[in-house]
Amino acid sequence: MVNERVALIAGGSKGLGKITALSLAKMGYHVVINYHQNAESATSLVSEIQSIGQQALAIQGDATDLQQMRSLFEEIECRLGRLDVLVHSVGPFIRERKTFFQMNISEVEKMIQGNLTSALYTTSYALPLMWQNGFGRIIYFGFNRSNEAPSWPDRSVYAAAKVGLVSFTKTLAVEEAPYGITVNMVCPSDIIGENKEKYIKDVMLLEDKESLRGRPGSGEDVSRVIAFLCQKDSDFITGNIMNISGGLDIIHPVSKMIPKK
């Protein structure tokens, strides 16, 4: 597999990670699916990718555990010999609205470790493998408008972690450009539930009154941008934070949890 490219989708067994894995497989990438708990979904996705004609592996590992990530990348190097793309789609989110003070410390740690620390861990092991080939594509996930470091009431810790990842994205892009590695972030709007694994044709006739396009977002809206960034000739696009929102601003300007006087 020396001359064939390999992509790792961290958190790739379902949702936006899954549809991204399929998109890259159709481009000709062999794909490694990193999953934490959902072995059944990961195994099913491996079979689906293999049916496309590409090689695929499912490797269990908690992206917030440094030693587990070390083992993950050692297995990738041993079995596939290279890594060209890292799509870090790990990113826990608490849908229940809470002010910072209403969050317990375990929730705070989950948001920071899942959305920021895990990205640092996976990147630290991905870079040496990319240096070997003088090529790399690293893509993180943020939220719409994260590039602005906006106030996001009731989402304080999640927002803080992702905005920190914005700065890391831009800095890493500068540091790794000489080695042929690009680093970007995609920022979907509120693509939820089954829509994360749907294609544009599946949602084209559905109504979403908040979206400027009048339809909800789909997983393909996101994965097609990632696929473009992973092309060889997309090397001039780096350090960018890309909103994929349909014109929807998901941030409510004031807290819904603070009682009105």
| Each residue's pLDDT tens digit, 208-247 | 988 888 999 999 999 999 999 999 999 999 999 999 998 8
Determine, yes or no, domain membership for 257: no
**Which tokens belong to 261?**
């006087």
Residues 128-155 have pLDDT tens digits of 999 999 999 999 999 999 999 999 999 9
> 252 in a domain, yes or no?
no
Name the pLDDT band for 1 (thresholds 50, 70, 90). Answer: very low
SS (H, E, C) 171-209: HHHHHHHHHCEEEEEEEECCCCHHHHHCCHHHHCCCCCC
3-state secondary structure of 243: strand
Domain range holding 170? 6-244
- Answer yes or no: is 258 within a domain: no
**pTM for this prediction:** 0.96
Task: Answer yes or no: are the C-beta atoms of 44 and 67 closer than 8 Å.
Answer: no
Q: List the CATH number of the domain containing 70.
A: 3.40.50.720
Please check whether residue 45 lies inside any domain of the structure.
yes
* b/e per residue 108-135 (b: at least 16 CB within 10 A): bebbbbbbbbbbbbbbebbbebbeebeb
Measured CA to CA, the distance from residue 83 to residue 143 in angstroms comes to 26
pLDDT tens for residues 177-195?
Answer: 999 999 999 999 889 899 9
- 230 within 8 A of 183, measured Cβ to Cβ: no
